[in-house]
Amino acid sequence: MDYSAKTKRTLGNALVGDRIAVHTNGKKYEGFLMPKHSEDPDTVTLKLDSGYTIGLKPDKIALIEKARNVRPQPAPKRVHDSSKPTITILHTGGTIASKVDYKTGAAYPAISPEELSDAVPELREIANYNAKVVFQMYSGDMEPEHWKILAEKVYEEAKSGVDGIIILHGTDTMAYSAAAIAFMVQKLPIPVLFVGSQRSSDRGSADGPMNIICASLFIVKSDFSGVAVCMHGTSSDDYCLVNPAVNVKKMHTSRRDTFRPIDVKPYAKVWQNGSIEMIRNDYSAKDKKRGPVLRNKIGKKVAIIKIRPGISHKELEFYKDYGGVIIEGTGLGNAPVTVLDEYTAHHGKLLEAMGKMSKRGVKMFMVSQCPYGKVNMNVYAYGRAVQDAGIVPLAMTSEAAYVKLIWALGNFPKNAEKIMLENFCGEIVENIKADTFLI
């Protein structure tokens, strides 16, 4: 995580955190020296007063001036412009708002919403922003109870008359939270976009600013309402994709274009210059007269269990007091229940455990561990036996199924199964178009 020896020589006595002025190619850049973050230890990273971060090559650096104890200029005071729409930024934390601990090099969720919107000056041209802190946490730490609180805030803001909401959120569990808000706050009059970033704001490849800009442009310029995820569409700063909250998955650990639509097409592509290409039209148009409906109760605990060679029926039975289990079957929704030989003698017990748990009232649904494609438990003989044991196939992502079951058990405890099979916001995808695989 350190600069190369060569870069250190160029930096002289300037240390990470120092305010410096760098003279390069006849220009002078002033800002704070950041820790090395890009793949290239030969790039000096400087955080400018505008909030932007630039990378400079030591070969081209003519002189570095060091000015200790100088603070950056405060951003100009923001004035409400009544000719522009108003967007509420709900801040939950995540990389998009993290800053780096210079001692350990690790990132902490710490930047305030004001700092963040000041750091992206383009936003001032698009809308007025209210920034509110809901949480300051990594999304990997979120619990269903946090969805409930976030849903309340979204509901209140949506009722308050703002033109759109941007939820800054860590990417790790964004697919879960986005689905949760889609189920918990229905009939939304305005767009609610989840925005995160895969690279922290002090890095040259930071994706947060572009994602927030594109989300703002989409809110202001399109007629979309409902919940969606707005993140990079490609690995370059090309365009953002607006993907439906209930059909999106984090497909890559580190790429900026990690969020991909699963078995559906994105709603839109959005460019930073303000161009928007609408790809779908099957959404509700904005309508400020439509009242949002809040149903944010959290039901009994739900589990996700992934089928694998060697799974034991005891692993399923562990969840016998849970409200429900999402089973990630193999392929079309299969599980090892066929008894063929001495090694599969215990498979019968898995089928038996399914039946017993159903009778106890544990709601169990089958999705696939394949990221794409729908389950079909009628193709193979034993898929039917599993259905007879009370497992219901669901044409949904694992994330959406998990969130929906918690929501269904909380808000419709007597009709959870019926609710699970009803399509509320596009989460059930029965007819998959061929050109939605790996896009």
Cβ(22)–Cβ(44) below 8 Å: yes
Nearest to 249 by CA among 403, 419, 138: 403
Q: Which is nearer to a copy of itself, 207 or 257 (CB)?
A: 257
Structural tokens at position 386: 């599993």
State which of positions 176-205 bind a copy of itself (CB under 8 A): 176-177
Kindly state the smallest distance separating residue 183's Cβ from a copy of itself, in Å: 14
Dist CA 219 CA 245 (whole Å): 15
Angle at 55 between CA 50 and CA 60, to 5 degrees: 120
Parallel, antiparallel or unpaired: strands 302-306 and 324-329: parallel
- Phi, psi of 117, deg, nearest 5: -75, -25
Kindly state the smallest distance separating residue 204's Cβ from a copy of itself, in Å: 16
State which of positions 30-89 bind a copy of itself (CB under 8 A): none
Kindly state the smallest distance separating residue 293's Cβ from a copy of itself, in Å: 23
Instruction: Please report the sign of the dihedral spanned by the C-alpha atoms of residue 188, residue 436, residue 432, residue 410.
Output: negative
**104 Cβ partners below 8 Å, 6+ apart?**
none
Kindly state the smallest distance separating residue 266's Cβ from a copy of itself, in Å: 14
State which of positions 151-180 bind a copy of itself (CB under 8 A): 170-173, 176-177
State which of positions 97-156 bind a copy of itself (CB under 8 A): 101, 104-108, 135-147
State which of positions 332-351 bind a copy of itself (CB under 8 A): 332-338, 340-341, 343-344, 347
Residue 12, amino acid:
G
Q: Which is nearer to a copy of itself, 252 or 297 (CB)?
A: 252
Selected binder of a copy of itself within 373, 387, 413, 417 (CB under 8 A): 373
Active-site positions?
95, 171-172, 250
Kindly state the smallest distance separating residue 233's Cβ from a copy of itself, in Å: 12
Q: Which is nearer to a copy of itself, 135 or 224 (CB)?
A: 135
Kindly state the smallest distance separating residue 371's Cβ from a copy of itself, in Å: 6
State which of positions 225-254 bind a copy of itself (CB under 8 A): 235, 250-254
Radius of gyration of the CA atoms of the chain, in A: 25
If you count them, how many residues does the chain have?
A: 439
Q: Which is nearer to a copy of itself, 59 or 430 (CB)?
A: 430
Q: Which is nearer to a copy of itself, 303 or 419 (CB)?
A: 303
Q: Which is nearer to a copy of itself, 29 or 372 (CB)?
A: 372
**304 Cβ partners below 8 Å, 6+ apart?**
325, 326, 328, 398, 402
* x-marked contacts with a copy of itself along 255-294 as a string, rule CB under 8 A: x-xx-x----------------------------------
Selected binder of a copy of itself within 185, 303, 391, 419 (CB under 8 A): 303
Kindly state the smallest distance separating residue 55's Cβ from a copy of itself, in Å: 18
Selected binder of a copy of itself within 7, 128, 368, 397 (CB under 8 A): 368
**405 Cβ partners below 8 Å, 6+ apart?**
299, 302, 323, 324, 326, 363, 365, 416, 420
Q: Is 309 exposed, middle or buried (0-12, 13-18, 19+ CB in 10 A)?
A: exposed
Selected binder of a copy of itself within 9, 320, 359, 384 (CB under 8 A): 384
Kindly state the smallest distance separating residue 137's Cβ from a copy of itself, in Å: 5
Tell me how many residues contact a copy of itself (CB under 8 A): 84
Dist CA 246 CA 175 (whole Å): 7
* x-marked contacts with a copy of itself along 417-436 as a string, rule CB under 8 A: -----------------x--
Cβ(393)–Cβ(387) below 8 Å: yes
**129 Cβ partners below 8 Å, 6+ apart?**
78, 86, 87, 88, 89, 117, 123
Dist CA 225 CA 166 (whole Å): 12
Selected binder of a copy of itself within 32, 129, 267, 402 (CB under 8 A): 402
Dist CA 164 CA 166 (whole Å): 7
Q: Which is nearer to a copy of itself, 163 or 172 (CB)?
A: 172
Dist CA 212 CA 74 (whole Å): 21
